[in-house]
Structure 1
Amino acid sequence: MNDVARLAGVSIKTVSRVVNGESGVRSGTEHRVRAAIDQLGFRRNLGARNLRRGTETGIIGLVLEDVANPFYSMLTRAVEEVARAQGAQVLTGSSGEDPGLERELVLEFLSRRVDGLLVVPAGDRHGYLAREITTGTPVVFVDRPPGGIDADTVLVDNVGGTALATRHLAARGHRRIAFLGDSPGISTAAERLRGFREGCAQSGIPVEPELVRMGPHTGESVAAALAGPMRSATALVTGNNRITVHALRALSGRARRPALVGFDDFELADLLVPPITVITYDVRELGASAARALYARLAGDASPPRRLVLPTRLLVRGSGEVPA
């Protein structure tokens, strides 16, 4: 705060008023103070007492896409279990696929001096974290890679998973296979689309543009896609659990339904008729591996950033085995 006051040419009390949103500061003065804050990378230190004592806060931050999604609920639980074994707690926030909100949450957690961060990226620009990583705050990215920085990352084999799903359908005689994926700006969605294309190439079947639709998807958009040119497809690969559920609702009234393989397992998938064949992986291990990597850094691991890719597997249940 002294540095900000000196750079802006004001008193420490004026800086305090600006930082805490108090009134009584002229607009020109406030502008100078905020410019100095941005230049110096200053933010409120809500855990200053802990730092003065030379102790950790016992809290890590976890930024997700949407905690309401069962996938992220399972991931959060796994992170919490690792943190509790370390005598720590987890602060969690949902970005809603908004890069601005992701950054806001990250900076808020940092202002509370969390010991480290786990981030499921919403955007692809993470240079704003470079200084934090350089100065010793460990950051691990989960499920999606960061953009613009080199950091520990724990991912899933998205390309291999959708390629496997596509080959599985092709092996049952399907030649017209459709793909419903999430927004192509999301790295996992782009990778799963690439895996679908690779699976088609490996099976010697063409990728028909009218049979590929990328999101974001709602129940209405999925229903519209499946009622259009995709209606002629004999098989379908869905890019995540929510899209799979939307597709099942849209197909529920049809006498003839396409064979279906979904990426991500989901609750009750094994009880549907037919049960849903999925590409699955250990979601709990995804969260636990990221948390263990974070605590390894906190324990002093100074090795270069690592990238861990967890394997996927095909869970055969029936919906993906319907012949062409």
Structure 2
Amino acid sequence: MSASTDDTARAGVDGGEFRRPTMRDVAARAGVSLKTVSRVVNAEPGVSPALADRVRRAVTELDFRPNVGASSLRRADGKTATVGLLVEDVANPFSSALQRAVEDVAMPRGVVVFSASLDEDPERERELARAFAARRADGLILVPASDDQSYLEAEVRAGTAVVCVDRACRGVDVDSVVATNRSGAAEGVRHLFAGGHRRVAFLGDRQSIWTASERYQGYLDAFAAAGLEIDPSIVVHDLTDTGVADGATSTLLTRPNPPTALFTAQNLVTIGALRALRRLGAERTVALVGFDDFPLADLVTPGVTVVAQDPTAIGKLAASVLFSRLAGDTSPTQLHVVPTTLVRRGSGEIPPPR
């Protein structure tokens, strides 16, 4: 094929507008049939090494890229080698670590991961889950924003593998991978009690979120086990971002009889509380234990003591369970639990005032 013909294959024939090279262009360039090109591109047998080399050279010269969607429709198993990952917010450090872990399991298998943020919106969850399923994703890994995933029942029956992470699925029988939210929160509060604190404030995310509810229950468990009464005036829920958490912390610490310690039940809430402490000059006098780690928590002074989840372990386990189901595992579904770890860095070890 001449240079001018190459240009036509790359740019198209109508006014020089761009057109992606097709299998027909590759066949013409290599001097073989369309079927031969199809077999080479889809790694099917029946093509001699010499012809296969000619096709591969033509593919390289024309920068041909197969239509993966069209190829998947021709596969006997109907698989698209894609999975969807629906998280709370891809900008959240927990979500981004989770995504990377899923990718690390998927990529060696030749599977592409598409992700989206749910923003704790149940309707957005349903729309995006259905959109991924409609685009024939082989499986979904989902951080539920709603308390009912029964809308996925038809997709599961149709063969879509589903695994819920961070929060257990409800209304559909699928695997879930969660952390020890309740017992981990209780451990964090007990750690503050062990340091001598009794006025320990709770600052949490939306009460409607399963993990937020579990962590609050852990806070209640720790008080009950210690035989202590909770002051409702230092319990604050529904802190949706760092700015709101900053304001709530400032309010608690500037009122009469403020708490001597804070238990913050989500990483963005912890960051907001830390900003308030530093602005008020109280980072060395008010103890702080946060649930969930975050970047640079060990570099501030004092370092932030946290009940750390392991999003990498959670993501890898969720992806492994998903691919096991896709490979034909029909064993009963399970709730997989990944333990949390108390990481002492200094802020949680500040004693109460004498």
TM-score between the two structures when normalised by the length of structure 1: 0.83
The separation in 1 between residues aligned to 2:204 and 2:246, in whole angstroms, is 14
Match of 1:313 in 2: 341
Q: Which runs of 5+ in 1 are unaligned?
A: 1-45
Q: Counterpart in 2 of 1:54? A: 76
Say whether 1:292 aligns with 2:314.
no
| Greater Rg over alpha carbons, structure | 2
Q: Residues 47 and 113 of structure 1 are in contact (CA less than 8 Å); yes or no, is this contact kept in structure 2?
A: no
Are 2:192 and 1:169 aligned? yes
Cα distance in 2 for partners of 1:293, 1:227 equals: 43
Paired residue secondary structure (2:163): strand
The residue aligned with 2:289 is: 261
Deviation of 1:274 after TM superposition, in Å, equals 0.7
1:247 aligns with 2:262: no
Match status 1:88 vs 2:114: no
Number of residue pairs matched by the alignment = 279
Distance in structure 1 (CA, Å) of the matches to 2:252 and 2:296: 29
TM-fit CA distance, 1:215: 1.3
Instruction: Check whether the contact 2:203–2:239 (CA below 8 A) recurs between aligned residues.
Output: no
Q: Deviations over 1:65-117 (max 9, x none)?
A: 11011111110000001001211110111111111111111111111111111
Offset of residue 222 of structure 1: 2.3
For the residue of structure 1 that corresponds to 2:298, the secondary structure is helix
Q: Following TM superposition, by how much is the alpha carbon of 1:230 offset from its aligned partner in structure 2, in angstroms? A: 5.2
Please list the CA deviations of residues 167-195 of structure 1 after superposition, one character each: whole Å capped at 9, or x if unmatched. Answer: 00001110100010000000000000000
2:186 is paired with a residue whose SS is helix
SS across alignment from 1:129: helix
How far apart in 1 are the matches of 2:311 and 2:297?
A: 16
Note if 1:117 corresponds to 2:140.
yes
**Structural mapping, 1:132-143, within 5 Å:** 132-143=155-166
Please identify runs of 4+ aligned residues in structure 1 that moved more than 4 A.
46-49
Q: 2:261 aligns with which of 227, 235, 240?
A: 235
For structure 2, the 5+ residue unaligned runs are: 1-67
Taking a change above 3 Å as real, the CA distance of residues 138 and 219 of structure 1, as seen in their structure-2 partners, is closer
Counterpart in the other structure of 2:237: 214
Pairwise CA distance, 1:126: 1.1
Aligned-residue offset at 1:282: 1.6
- Whole-Å Cα distance in 1 between the matches of residues 170 and 336 of structure 2? 16
Structure 1 residues 251 and 97: CA distance shift in structure 2, 3 A: same
Aligned letter for 1:62? L
Q: Please report the TM-score for the alignment, with normalisation by the length of structure 2.
A: 0.76
Q: Relative to 1, partners in 2 of residues 1:183 and 1:157: Cα closer, same or farther, differing over 3 Å?
A: same
Residue among 99, 105, 108 paired with 2:131: 108
Say what the alpha-carbon RMSD is for the aligned residues: 1.6
Deviations 1:129-175 (A, max 9, x none): 01111222110001011221221000000001110000000011101
Indicate the percent of aligned positions where both proteins have the same amino acid. 47
Distance (whole Å) between structure 1 residues aligned to residue 243 and residue 145 of structure 2: 24
Q: What displacement does 1:242 show?
A: 0.5
